[in-house]
Chains A and B, each alone.
Chain A
Amino acid sequence: MNFSYTLFIPLIPLFVFLFLGILHTKLKPKLAGTIGVLGLSTSTLLSYYTAYKYFFEVGKVDGVYQTFIGAKTTWINFTELLHIDMGVLLDPISIMMLVVVSTISLMVHIYSLGYMKGEAGFNRYYAFLSLFTFSMYGLVIATNIFQMYIFWELVGVSSFLLIGYYYDKPSAVAAAKKAFIVTRFADLGFLIGILILSYYAGTFDFQILNNPQGAIISNGIGASFMGLSVITWALILMFVGGAGKSAMFPLHIWLPDAMEGPTPVSALIHAATMVVAGVYLVARMFPLYYFIDGGFVLQIVAYVGAFTSLFAAIIACTQNDIKRVLAFSTMSQIGYMMLALGVSGYDGHEGLGYMASMFHLFTHAMFKALLFLGAGSVIHAVHSNLMKDMGGLRKYMPITNITFFIAALSISGFPFTSGFFSKDEILSAAFENSKLIYFVGLFVAGLTAFYMFRIYFSIFWGKEKTYKHTPHESPLSMTIPLILLAILSIAPGYIHFSDFISADRGGFEAHLNYPLAITAVVTGLIGILVAYVFYKKENNIPEKVSKTFGAIYTWTYHKFYIDELYLFVTKKIIFNIVSASFAWFDKKVIDDSMIGIGDATINSSEKIKKLQSGKFQDYATWFILGAIALVLYFLYKN
């Protein structure tokens, strides 16, 4: 089957980026936006066509989905086996990611036409969006781990550029730097992991690394370190990189700040696509994670995921900035995906967690993008991020209201929405594996419903605030993506995802686990109910509750002081104590010795510069003296 045209899926956004980037001062904003949307539409159509062709025209061969290499070229050749390739790898998860990235990116492109209208640097914005989309495509279709790493960094760069889009705003610049530095710090782990893995396994290629019957998994690598195989260490380090990108605790601190970027950017990068790169990485390397050392690393993944999920959900309940609530919600949901991967098995129905994770990734991308875009629509109308500036908006913004409501229902796991199905799969996978993780998940589901409806009721119901000018519904370019995403927040639930994506690629029959599903739905409904009581009408219950919890509330409100802890560690301990001694050494020893050499040169030249009198007769005198001295020397020698 020929899939070589898939090369154009990433290349079109790249060309759009170059075109818009080079001509960004020349083009009219309208034209630039149109070019961006058209370019991405082409990529999107190609992605859909690829998905159709892969799943339905080719389908399973011998009951298993095959891996296709659409295109491949060797970029750097180290040895016979070890070489860095650039290419397109097509398998169920990469195709699913292509569909997700295309869909969300296209929606964001269209939405931005309205949202970013009249902003300075509109063309630059579209150029960066294209760059990001190109990098994300490159990441998901990577044929080998090094290609993935390259695009992983490119994604980080474009994220940096887009967060810092309002570069005249100091907080945006700080947030961009923070996001870049934190993820870069985590990527160091990823890089070291890649180097260890490739050193011992002798290849970068996913197909060789992930082959369950392959030499690496069945024989293992003899070398071990501190009781664990080196491959395990490599996988842990790579998970650190993934945790950085996916904002897992304790590397999550950049994500809330990243909300300084334009809202559509948050929807695209910090909700649906880039932040799930860590999940995708673990899923991509899943056979290795599962088989090496009996899935030791997967345990870590599961607990980190569960903890982050809980941690972020608790913080989300106390935040007042709607985008920050959504950011913490994203962290929480990605934690969900991580824990699902962590509890997954490999064969057939045991791989439920893997499938559930991918399923949730898919559905979450849709409804979280919708939530962000809806929030963007609200912010566009009231020019504020804060919940206290909003209320009673349902009358002014009916479409935003309904679509936001659908998304909130979906993320809360309300029956018959897509979130319900994916969340149920995750919970039943967790239930089979570990009761602790299951209960954490269940509690988080309740919290999710609560904070989501907290912001929903605060924005669209509650007491009507006085606005400077009457809020109005957003233009069509913004509402159409909202409506489409609202449909996509419900419809995917009815796809039999387990037919298409499973750890061993064979597919299996997934059923609703009714007792678990009912428990989850009830938990969600309780969360919604509490939010309803608290926030539907203006009342003082929330204040009372927050007073009751007192210190814990303040602690949570300040995100458990993790940022302050990092600042303390970096500023007080590293800068003042560790760095100070180095700084002293640098200043006193290295600088001073250099300055001393310079000073000595200046002083000595000051003394001997008189010789350079400019009088050529003096020079002649010295020359003749030297000549006579040489003659005398040779005479004496003879």
Chain B
Amino acid sequence: MIRKTSLIAAASTLSLLSALPVAAQTIAIVGGHILSQGPAGDIASGTVLIKDGKIVAVGAKIAVPADARIVDASGKTVSPGLVLPSTSLTVAEVEQIDDTMDDSAGKRMGAAFDVQYGVNPNSALIPLARLSGVTRAVVTPVLGRGGSGGHKDDGADDFSGSFEDGEASLFAGQVATATLAAGVTDAVVKAKIGMALDLGEAGASYAGGSRGAAIVLMKSALDDARHYARNRAAFDMGASHPYPYSRDDLEALIPVVEGRMPLLVRVHRASDITQILKFAAEQKLKLILEGAEEGWMVADAIAKAGVPVLIDGQADLPGSFETLGSTLQNAGRLNAAGVTVAVMGSRDYNNLRQGRFNAGLAVSYGLPYSAAMASVTINPAKIWGLADRIGSLEPGKDADLVIWTGDPLDVTTYATSVFIQGKEQPMTSRSLELAERYRPGKSDYPPAYR
């Protein structure tokens, strides 16, 4: 029997549906404009067939099995779930409340810091991100925080944000990826998928004040990791030469020096990008760049090295002396040079929704639309080695997808349904509950009773 269910009805029957075993479900999302980001391309009106949490077919003419639950997406747009390429989401709650922030190591360690242990599937920010079409986060540790949520006028910038001597190392720690699915008890899908590091002004500041020191310190850390890997027994017997880093930090760096774990480098100035590209080639490191505001100035070199870039698509101010060349054309120019680009938002709350708009903005400044869609879906998945499971709508992949009122990259568009691994997600959040509570209207009792 074919059950035809409107989206609203689908949402209201959600509790019933989620009680059913996932394995038994076949779902057909029919009639939507599909932006598959995979071999199926863009389909003006087509079907995505989901079975057992996986996508089994995508196309204009897909036979819908008789037992399938049908979700009508006609007049709407269907895209893969969005992937945040570098975020604090799931390990950060309220930026100015330190107790709620688990995105940086503090003073005791560097490379060994493992962000996976702070991932909280019950973060109130997750439903908010999910409502913006985000189904997956790549959680990257940061070196330190400014402390004001990016607000110049808070007074916080005037009193905090500088590093103290003796803090940890240049390495911010190990990256994890987390699902934003509701109802999971452990959201970490894969841990230790990368190592994060800050260079440029932030790295220099950690290294004592200059770039020359930062690169030398990084090199010596990697050399020590190689030495340690060859001399573990000697180290255990106290026969190795002393390392400035702990055993945990050195262990964490071994997959990096062996080229198995990508090194995410936050870097901004063109000359710093040139230096890290050279360094990575010499050291045979697998590199990902984040920031890269002046990337367009060395776009060919980045493309030649095959290094992908995560950029904030709104950056266009000389916010510091290492971003004098910031321009909204960065994404377009890097893409044109052949660089794989993923677009991100800022790291705070905006990150939850800003990434897709930043990708849209980049379209106005030279990034082709298809590349812009890829920059928030398949590209971040590829960059982090997750594209075998997510990032596009193609058979065999997880059924992480979003149904939108229109173009996913435009500002007035919103998501009406979100599926993660084939499971329909609740379309609510703490914010929406607040909005409903204060919906204009009269009541004799205080809102707390609503």
Same assembly: no
Q: List residues of chain A with CB under 8 Å of any chain B CB.
A: none
Residues of B at under 8 Å CB distance from A?
none
